[in-house]
Chain A
């Protein structure tokens, strides 16, 4: 696994020492035999660092899908959008997060809030997919 954190933010991944106990005198810690690498959230949440971007949610149009104002979105551009995925799209030059739906009428962007009607993707609408939302990070306290 490459240095994911570095690839994403330019910052080095936090390095955790492999041996925790200092051996100065006396007996080494019995726990040293069980040392493992500390968990790195980047490894779990980011499959492809070069294609992964973080975006900040503004507004409540996706509340029903568990995406709230101020949440952090992890967006992977290397995934090709498919129906039912939550995607970031560009509508009229703005980023918007919606669920991609397909019906007999064609593709549309569906909000998860009663106040926001779906946006249908037709030949005359200027809509492009920007990336696929893989994770939502929501603060609970």
Chain B
């Protein structure tokens, strides 16, 4: 049994570079929604000292002095490039689990008999040629070891971006001892601190800790992580993501919201996007919640963080129904005189498959379903937000998001294709 983890290097920054060759070899950073924090850095940007997650106002000086190129996040582009990377990998390996927008686990078992190192190098070079995105690949007998091998592939230039976790005992101990416990997949900073208090400093220490002890101090997940480090497989490839149980759409406001009509638009827009995603996945929701929050970093201002929810009877994925419920909950939560920083809509009690009709529904379900199908088709072909409830306001793309440095949607809009002279 062998797994490979393919991880795109500096994914968002790499996507920007594919379509804007001027960015090659230059420090590039990509900002979060609302241009708040740094969410991706090119290698050059890391070298000039910009930190991951750093608020952009903190690095203004570095940006200026090193001529760092700044981009707002362009998720339409990143999603499309992510899909391309995965489909390039699928050309070589049939079983792939999409772990995140820039990481995919591959099951190498069906490729038994082949030279895995060579295969992964072929994959890396095909992904780079086809999509322009550089990936690093780590190979290991468990997903956790593949993840560790991937770290080595990324950090050690001599691996040429592909590294197989060593079979040799001494060699494997060396690699594990060079990995800090908090850097192990699934451990993180908080558990890392507690592990260190127990004398566990490295991945090797964790691998050598008896599973029952890990479990008694932490939980089953931590125990499995320790076992995986020792080569015992606990996590299988999840080829199809587990059907989701909740779906959240939320966003911080670029500028604090003080008027109900603005809040109403935001809530309606979140409900609209959540409904769209729910239909895409073929589910219906039985419960809808809304939350609104003021800025907790501004304790000088009056604080108000509340949420409310309602049952959806029958379960539904119809946009107007969800917008109506969301806005009526929002209306009840809203308190004038506050500066709200964030709002969101959560759909839960989601079920898939047969839709349960309500005996005494006042709505025509078949009609709703047809209407939503037309809506989705138009939004998919003409771009999301082309048709939207009037309640969501007019300028969806720029309405609430501050995105001053956004690149064109090069691969998903006919009007924004790259220009070639």
Contacts and interface: CB of A to CB of B under 8 A. Distances in A.
CB-based closest 3 A-B pairs: A51-B130, A93-B22, A50-B87
A94 B419 CA distance: 9
Contact of A59 (B80, B126, B412, B421): B421
Interface stretch (A6-14, A16-24, A25-33, A36-44): A6-14
A132 to B, nearest CB: 11
B389 to A, nearest CB: 22
B312 interface: no
A58 B130 contact: no
A90 B87 contact: no
A68 interface: no
A96 B132 CA distance: 17
Contacts of B132: 77, 130
A99 to B, nearest CB: 14
A55 B84 CA distance: 17
B418 A50 contact: no
B79 interface: yes
B34 interface: no
B227 to A, nearest CB: 36
Name, among B377, B412, B421, the residue most crowded by chain A CB atoms within 10 Å (CB to CB).
B421
Contacts, number: 85
B87 A55 contact: no
B83 interface: yes
Interface residues on B, range: 20 to 34
Identify whether the interface residues of A are mostly helix, strand, loop, or mixed.
Answer: mixed
B415 to A, nearest CB: 9
7 contacts: A7-B83, A7-B84, A50-B88, A53-B418, A78-B130, A95-B421, A96-B420
Given A7-B83, A10-B80, A95 B130 contact: no
B381 interface: yes
A10 B80 CA distance: 7
A16 B131 CA distance: 30
Contacts of A49: 84, 87
Contact of A56 (B85, B131, B412, B419): B419
Contact of B84 (A12, A50, A88): A50
Nearest to A77: B130
B411 A9 contact: yes
